[in-house]
């Protein structure tokens, strides 16, 4: 079967570093509908290298929709137009021949641009470091059913744990809030008995660290849920808010 070629116009954000003034560059690319979006960017970079120009910097790792590294905004949508899909799993058949595609980095104060489409998302790492772990000595691996856990709770915890930390929620939010990410990381531990011991300190530490990183507050727009490639539910935000208020009140009483 012949491959359907597509003639595309790309408007790609170029920025040498966080201090430099960025701008859009326009390029023509011929791709085929079976390419992934990142493969199409590879084609662009091959053209730029042949022209002795600097290739476009963008992040990628697994290219299997698991790691979340391939974060970019495509035509105004984090990870592009296809729901529940990372950029690396977005295929060019989602576009049409002759389309103009605008590609830019995630826009958030807490995600400074490193170069072109690459942003520094280490703020997420610091949120995790502040409380996204348990200190229980678990020892060797045990059978999966050794510790009985209610099915509803385990399902909710597993759904929250599917968050890959890509940052699409931040890019989608008009306030650049990291509430969906933080609440997913809080929920997947606080819902399970292994995480119950540190549940209150965890939610306090992670929410406080999130605020220190400069992320905005949630205003219930729910664009984060709509753009999340793993479709994490905003019910996690409501759960985290309840736990945070409860832990804060208890902490004030003990002070």
pLDDT at 4: 82
Distance between CA atoms of 104 and 160, rounded to whole angstroms?
Answer: 28
What is the token pair recorded at 221? 């727009």
Question: Interior CA angle at 253 toward 243 and 195, to 5°?
Answer: 35
pLDDT at 140: 74
Domain boundaries, given as residue ranges, for the chain: 5-114, 121-134+146-254
Distance between CA atoms of 16 and 137, rounded to whole angstroms?
Answer: 46
pLDDT in tens, 27-44: 999 999 999 999 999 999
Spatial contact of 233 and 159, defined as CB atoms under 8 Å apart: yes
pLDDT mean across residues, the chain: 94
pLDDT in tens, 9-31: 999 999 999 999 999 999 999 99
Q: What is the CATH number of domain 121-134+146-254?
A: 1.10.1060.10
Q: What is the CATH number of domain 5-114?
A: 3.10.20.30
Task: Say if residue 125's pLDDT is above 90.
Answer: yes
Q: How far is the CA of 43 from the CAs of 10, 25, 30, 117, in angstroms? A: 12, 16, 8, 16
pLDDT in tens, 160-218: 999 999 999 999 999 999 999 999 999 999 999 889 989 999 999 999 999 999 999 99
Task: Say if residue 52's pLDDT is above 90.
Answer: yes
For 78-87, 129-138, 143-152, which range has the lowest pLDDT when averaged over its residues?
A: 143-152
Q: Which residue has the higher pLDDT, 139 or 134?
A: 134
Mean pLDDT of all residues in 230-234: 97
């Amino acid at each position: 079967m012949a491959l359907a070629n597509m003639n595309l116009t790309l408007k790609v954000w170029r920025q040498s570093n966080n201090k430099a003034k960025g701008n859009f560059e326009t390029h023509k690319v011929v791709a085929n509908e079976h390419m992934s979006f990142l493969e199409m960017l590879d084609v662009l970079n091959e053209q730029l290298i042949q022209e002795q120009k600097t290739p476009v910097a963008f992040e990628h790792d697994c290219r299997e929709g698991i790691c979340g590294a391939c974060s970019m905004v495509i035509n105004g949508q984090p990870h592009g137009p296809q729901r529940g899909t990372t950029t690396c799993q977005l295929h060019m058949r989602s576009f049409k021949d002759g389309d103009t595609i605008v590609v830019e980095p995630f826009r958030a104060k807490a995600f400074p641009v490193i170069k072109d489409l690459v942003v520094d998302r280490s703020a997420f790492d610091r949120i995790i470091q502040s409380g996204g772990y348990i200190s229980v000595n678990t020892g060797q691996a045990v059978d999966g059913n050794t510790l009985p856990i209610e099915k509803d709770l385990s399902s909710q915890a597993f759904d929250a744990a599917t968050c890959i930390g890509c940052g699409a929620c931040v890019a989608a939010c008009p306030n650049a809030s990291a509430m969906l990410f933080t609440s997913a990381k809080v929920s997947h531990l606080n819902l399970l008995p292994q995480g119950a011991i540190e549940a209150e300190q965890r939610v306090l530490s992670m929410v406080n660290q999130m605020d220190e990183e400069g992320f905005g507050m949630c205003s219930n727009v729910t664009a984060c849920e709509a753009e999340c490639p793993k479709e994490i539910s905003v019910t996690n935000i409501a759960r985290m808010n309840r736990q945070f208020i409860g832990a804060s009140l208890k902490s004030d009483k003990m002070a």
